[in-house]
Homo-oligomer: A and B are copies of this chain.
């Protein structure tokens, strides 16, 4: 019994979702997985290149399609994926879902945990696939698409497991009526809502996809995974492993299907608009996200664009702060949804334990820290990774024409291992607080804005307005003043934005840890989903209570 085999993992994970202290089922260090794993992963990845991808168990394809290009080599991967008619995918999902929803939740949880344990053996294949589709560095590719994604998936399993066992399956209800009583037997059932579709993005094809996939599956819904055509391989490997595991366990592999498509023949709308599809998870741009959210009769979970702010008020030591921020903005070239973009600095500068720093000194040190990091021969290319696509590169290149004062001009950065890699350092622009047309939108990629404000109250007011009107997934703040801290907390939380204070050293505002940090709060325009609060789970099924007169 898988339910028994993995009970310990599931119980620990449930406890972790409640306690919210540090917890990881899958270690984030590559070396935890054996010395030869890395080399074997490269080999496995290379064997996939230039061929049809055959690890899925889906049949009846209408064709084969593939258009991935490595941001590192700029070469086409040449892998093709089977494509399917939307109706065919829906039909198979509906059939597969019938058996899946009948299973006790403990069995679903056991089977799903088994899939994660099997995916673990492919972490390095997935890492290379992620690197050469998203442009993430190897380390980020490994961590984000491997252990971190698996932990987020386990978090969804655990939250679902807990919620689905919340009510007793059967109770005896006896109402006293004077001398007699009425007795009913009541049963409580969690009825899955229907077919789920999870729409992935090109930058985090696994990390942003697995929570929705496992949330659908644990709650008894079959799921169709619709990857971004530019980043299919990492999630294709994952879906392949899930299908193979499910089949081996005696389940219909179509419980989880891959719906690869191509840029000139996208099937996202066909899938999402199908009346049998009741659940949609989406990561991507805001306008398509608004379309998804507008579809009637669906439960929708979105992560859209947001503008993340950092408020600089006062610090103990400035050097560790600015090093931390330089890393935050450079990491994967600002292509994380949690990357900070808008830095609010008071015109009179900031206080430090070692004396006052003028506004210009702050700006100058920011520039030096970013330039020092990104042009560092050993650190630069690895931190920046590569730019996923030409549109983002173009945006980065043209950033200097946005307006404001160019503090640091972004330039191509050399990657020693991959001479053709699409690498471009951050552009830093100083703007005034009235330049809201510039800073009130997401400039996805390596673009940093330093906004000169009257004072910290003004910084806070602007950061709050940004979050309220344009969304924010996170906010960083630096202050040594307890009162200021409380005020920032109060105001930013009131627009449903979490705040990270005074981060220095090896922890960055960009990071959201499974089992502890809620990712996206669901409260502001950045999206209505949150990994993994209860809402992310319980909107996927309906509690129905039945009654019968007791004999």
Give the distance in Å from the alpha carbon of A21 to the alpha carbon of B182 in the complex.
12
| A333 CB → nearest B CB, Å | 24
CB-CB contacts below 8 Å: A44-97 with B? none
Please state if A542 and B513 are interface contacts (CB–CB under 8 Å). no
* A401 touches B (CB below 8 Å): no
Please state if A22 and B542 are interface contacts (CB–CB under 8 Å). no
Count chain B CB atoms within 10 A of each CB in A175, A493, A500, A505 and give the residue with the most. A175
* A548 touches B (CB below 8 Å): yes
Which listed segment binds B: A238-246, A407-415, A429-437, A530-538?
A530-538
* A39 touches B (CB below 8 Å): no
| Contact A518 to B543, CB < 8 A, known contacts A22-B173, A173-B22, A193-B523 | yes
| A516 CB → nearest B CB, Å | 6
Please state if B507 and A182 are interface contacts (CB–CB under 8 Å). yes
Please state if B173 and A21 are interface contacts (CB–CB under 8 Å). yes
Please state if B533 and A186 are interface contacts (CB–CB under 8 Å). no
Please state if A546 and B500 are interface contacts (CB–CB under 8 Å). yes
Please state if B544 and A521 are interface contacts (CB–CB under 8 Å). yes
CB-CB contacts below 8 Å: A510-537 with B? 513, 516-518, 521-523, 530, 533-535
- Report the nearest B residue to A503, measured CB to CB: B549
Give the distance in Å from the alpha carbon of A353 to the alpha carbon of B267 in the complex.
57
0/1 per residue, A119-155, Cβ < 8 Å to B? 0000000000000000000000000000000000000
Which listed segment binds B: A164-172, A340-348, A378-386, A447-455?
A164-172
Give the distance in Å from the alpha carbon of A441 to the alpha carbon of B183 in the complex.
33
A374: B residues at CB distance < 8 A: none
0/1 per residue, A187-211, Cβ < 8 Å to B? 0110101000000000000000000
* A539 touches B (CB below 8 Å): yes
A499: B residues at CB distance < 8 A: 546-547
Please state if A494 and B191 are interface contacts (CB–CB under 8 Å). yes
A494: B residues at CB distance < 8 A: 191
Give the distance in Å from the alpha carbon of A189 to the alpha carbon of B490 in the complex.
10
A542 is contacted by which of B496, B503, B507, B547 (Cβ under 8 Å)?
B496
Identify the A interface with B (CB < 8 A). Answer: 18-22, 163, 166-168, 171-177, 182, 184, 186, 188-189, 191, 193, 489, 493-494, 496-507, 513, 516-518, 521-523, 530, 533-535, 538-539, 542-549
Question: 28 A-B pairs, CB-CB below 8 angstroms?
Answer: A18-B167, A20-B171, A20-B173, A20-B545, A21-B174, A22-B173, A22-B174, A163-B534, A182-B507, A184-B507, A186-B517, A493-B546, A496-B542, A497-B544, A498-B544, A498-B545, A502-B548, A505-B549, A516-B545, A517-B545, A517-B547, A521-B544, A522-B542, A530-B542, A533-B543, A535-B535, A535-B539, A538-B538
| Contacts A21-B172, A498-B547, A500-B546 supplied; 6 other A-B pairs, CB < 8 Å | A171-B516, A173-B513, A496-B544, A498-B544, A499-B547, A521-B544
